[in-house]
A and B are shown apart, each in its own frame.
Chain A
Amino acid sequence: MSHPVEVSELAKTYFEQGRGQVPAVRGISFWCQESEIFGLLGANGAGKTSTLRMLSTVLTPSSGTASVMGHDLVKEPAAVRRSLGFFSASTALYPRLTPRETLDFFARINGYPADRVKARVEELIERIGLQSYANTRVDQLSSGMKQKVSIARTVAHDPPVLIFDEPTVGLDVLNALEFHDVLREFRTQGKSIILSTHIMSEVEKLCDRIAIVHQGKILACDTLAGLRESSGEHYLEDIFVRCVKAGHP
């Protein structure tokens, strides 16, 4: 049976002036099923963002294959993008639009049925508690509110797959905790969620399965309990360090 997200031997090599070919991702494979939060845990520069950018079709893979809801990344990029919501630090909101206009635009452009867009937008505005700011320009909102609108923007077209790349970077504790609740809610709704982060506690609390990524490779991929058992360590931090030092669990 196929999973909503399937990644097989995905690789990405960049060309850099003076350095030549630089491999960023070296053959990563994983899958993510429904109602699951799959964590990609790794240090900065490990290849997490490149992997997720390939999954969202922003980057073209150098080799390997992947599919989202059965759609091939390279052959059906539009269908892939329609099936997922992508959130990262580099996906900001349009500052001159209001939250209502933002949600309306992203729902429509991602193919949400036109006759249901209005209701969907109002539902999301109510869900994130932005009723009184729905018609205020985004550049006049606080960072916390912007974060909420960004999350709503990601799910505006109700995609089955959600990708979050370092979503809590720059958030205060309360906003980060609120975001964790939102992620859990999405999981309950049956979404397949890929969460990339370098914050160990976040992964421990949220992820059903965890892949430890280092230098463009997955060193280990299992549930937290499975990783504890195979590594003999209790804390994720120790598990991570052991994996990275050994190059394998």
Chain B
Amino acid sequence: MSRAGDVWLLYQRELRSALREKNILLYSLLVPALLYPCILWLIFSADSLVRGTLEQTPSRVAMVGLPPHHARLETELVEAGEFSLTSRPQEESLRGLQQGRFDLVAVFQPGPHGEMGVRLVYDGSRLHSKIARDRMQQVLERYRDLRLEELARQLAAADEQLQLLWVKPVNHASESQVGRFLLSILLPMAMIVVMGMGGLYPAVDSTAGERERSTWETLLTTAASRDDVVLAKYLYVVSVIAFSGLLNLAALYTCVYAVLEPMEGVTISLPWSSLPVLLGGTLLLAMFMAAGMMVPASFARTFQQGQSLSTPFYAVTILPTVLVADPSVQFTTTLACIPVLNAALAFREAIAGHLLWPQLLISLSVLLLCVVVSLWVARRVLAYEDVVLGTYGGSFWTFFRQRLLKRS
């Protein structure tokens, strides 16, 4: 059989075994497809539920000293339908606010010439109280504008004179740009975290797990070469990681689309130009992560040891990606030199519709270099019989210090 045929056969064997392992199915398929989309859906649903409930709940307002000639204000507040009004003395009202019986205390302070000031006393630690403040402020501003308008008309001012200054906010970003911005914040970090999570179990299972089950030597006594055995395992882990990432991307996109698309002012769509960056970046990241997790795990004799040896790599590479969620972090040429973070930033910018070529080229080179170095280390490691057979006593770091650094 040809080398490619051997590798394909070994790869199929790895994949078949993997698809029958519940932990691999959980971390590499179910979590990418369901975890983040479910979390996102729950957050949006809970937010909508809270908002809906709050909108239907009237704000309990204690009115203190409303002057009789402003009685129309009370009528307007009642007509707004968002308030439950009570007139109480100031001290009792403030005590009520403290005890949570009122959401807001409106203290009216009439002036000598018919003018009036209003002090809105609220509890900044309660959401209901802040909502009551906003609602009351809106009604009061509208009431003031109408009074001013009436006064101006009494003084025979023209309509144009009443509009000396008008403000009209205009959103320069299109609806799809808003949608892309939201996607660029939500997608990259979740995708990379899930890729690492999806790859960890297969990487450890195919190395330390194989040794723990005593199937490693069975494989070494087949006619396939050692290089082909390792290559097939590597390709298997790479494909699982890449698949987890892309599955998560598709699931998250679908979820975000379903939740945000119905909202006004947002159109959810991925630019076509982002696809090569997403696909290429996913593949390179998968290659780097697979090598980075498999090499330390190959020193372990048990699955548990393998997990503890590979997890630090996962944690160290994933942690910087939290920066991606901060829109003020720019994709600079310096950040393009940090592996994994550069991929996350490249994903973010590509989703937002920006292709920053210098940064993309630096990221590509850095990730390729990382892959080459990881594979070189893996090859050096596999040149040692005791490591291959699991009789080496130390960890990867001991090996790195004692053999790689000494010899290279």
**Complex contact A109–B217 (CB within 8 A):** no
**Complex contact B213–A86 (CB within 8 A):** no
At the interface, yes or no: B224 with Cβ under 8 Å from chain A? yes
At the interface, yes or no: B17 with Cβ under 8 Å from chain A? yes
**Complex contact A81–B13 (CB within 8 A):** no
CB nearest to B393 among chain A residues: A17
At the interface, yes or no: B10 with Cβ under 8 Å from chain A? yes
Residues of A within 8 A of B386 (CB): 14-15
**Complex contact A91–B222 (CB within 8 A):** no
Tell me the chain A residues, 7-49 only, with Cβ under 8 Å from chain B.
14-15, 17
**Complex contact A59–B389 (CB within 8 A):** yes
CB distance from A63 to the nearest CB of B (A): 15
Residues of B within 8 A of A14 (CB): 386, 391
CB nearest to B390 among chain A residues: A90
**Complex contact A91–B1 (CB within 8 A):** no
Residues of A within 8 A of B223 (CB): 78-79, 81-82, 109-111, 157
At the interface, yes or no: B406 with Cβ under 8 Å from chain A? no
Question: Which of A95-103, A202-210, A213-221 lies at the binding interface?
Answer: A95-103
Residues of B within 8 A of A15 (CB): 386
**Complex contact B9–A91 (CB within 8 A):** no
CB distance from A69 to the nearest CB of B (A): 13
Which of these, A78, A91, A97, A110, contacts B217 with CB under 8 Å?
A91
| Interface size of B in residues (CB-CB distance below 8 Å) | 26
A92 to B219, CA, bound (A): 9
At the interface, yes or no: A67 with Cβ under 8 Å from chain B? no
When A and B form their complex, what is the total count of cross-chain residue pairs whose Cβ atoms lie within 8 Å?
A: 73
**Complex contact A106–B220 (CB within 8 A):** no
A81 to B226, CA, bound (A): 12
Most buried by A among B217, B221, B222: B221
At the interface, yes or no: B332 with Cβ under 8 Å from chain A? no
Binary contact track B17-29/A, C-beta < 8 Å → 1, others 0: 1001100000000
A95 to B17, CA, bound (A): 8
**Complex contact A81–B20 (CB within 8 A):** no
At the interface, yes or no: A137 with Cβ under 8 Å from chain B? yes
Given that A59-B385, A59-B389 are known contacts, is A91 also in contact with B221, CB under 8 Å in the complex?
Answer: yes
At the interface, yes or no: B57 with Cβ under 8 Å from chain A? no
At the interface, yes or no: B53 with Cβ under 8 Å from chain A? no
Tell me the chain B residues, 1-23 only, with Cβ under 8 Å from chain A.
1, 6, 9-10, 13, 16-17, 20-21
CB distance from B243 to the nearest CB of A (A): 19
At the interface, yes or no: B225 with Cβ under 8 Å from chain A? yes
**Complex contact B389–A96 (CB within 8 A):** no
**Complex contact B1–A92 (CB within 8 A):** no
**Complex contact B9–A109 (CB within 8 A):** yes
CB distance from B350 to the nearest CB of A (A): 38
Tell me the chain B residues, 365-393 only, with Cβ under 8 Å from chain A.
385-386, 389, 391, 393
At the interface, yes or no: B45 with Cβ under 8 Å from chain A? no
Residues of B within 8 A of A86 (CB): 221
Residues of B within 8 A of A82 (CB): 223
Given that A109-B224, A111-B1, A111-B223 are known contacts, is A97 also in contact with B218, CB under 8 Å in the complex?
Answer: no
A96 to B16, CA, bound (A): 8
**Complex contact B17–A90 (CB within 8 A):** no
**Complex contact A60–B218 (CB within 8 A):** no
Residues of A within 8 A of B138 (CB): none
Which of these, A56, A97, A114, contacts B13 with CB under 8 Å?
A97
**Complex contact B217–A96 (CB within 8 A):** no
At the interface, yes or no: B308 with Cβ under 8 Å from chain A? no
**Complex contact B221–A93 (CB within 8 A):** no
A interface with B by C-beta (< 8 Å): 14-15, 17, 56-60, 77-79, 81-82, 86, 88-97, 101, 105-106, 108-111, 114, 137, 153, 157
Known: A17-B393, A97-B13. 18 other contacts (CB 8 A): A14-B386, A58-B221, A58-B389, A59-B385, A79-B223, A86-B221, A94-B13, A96-B17, A96-B21, A97-B16, A97-B17, A101-B16, A106-B222, A108-B1, A109-B222, A109-B224, A111-B223, A137-B20
22 interchain pairs, CB-CB under 8 A = A14-B386, A60-B385, A78-B223, A78-B224, A78-B225, A81-B221, A81-B222, A81-B223, A86-B221, A90-B214, A90-B217, A91-B214, A91-B221, A93-B215, A93-B218, A94-B218, A96-B20, A108-B9, A109-B9, A111-B223, A137-B20, A157-B223
The 3 closest A-B pairs by CB, nearest first: A92-B214, A82-B223, A91-B218
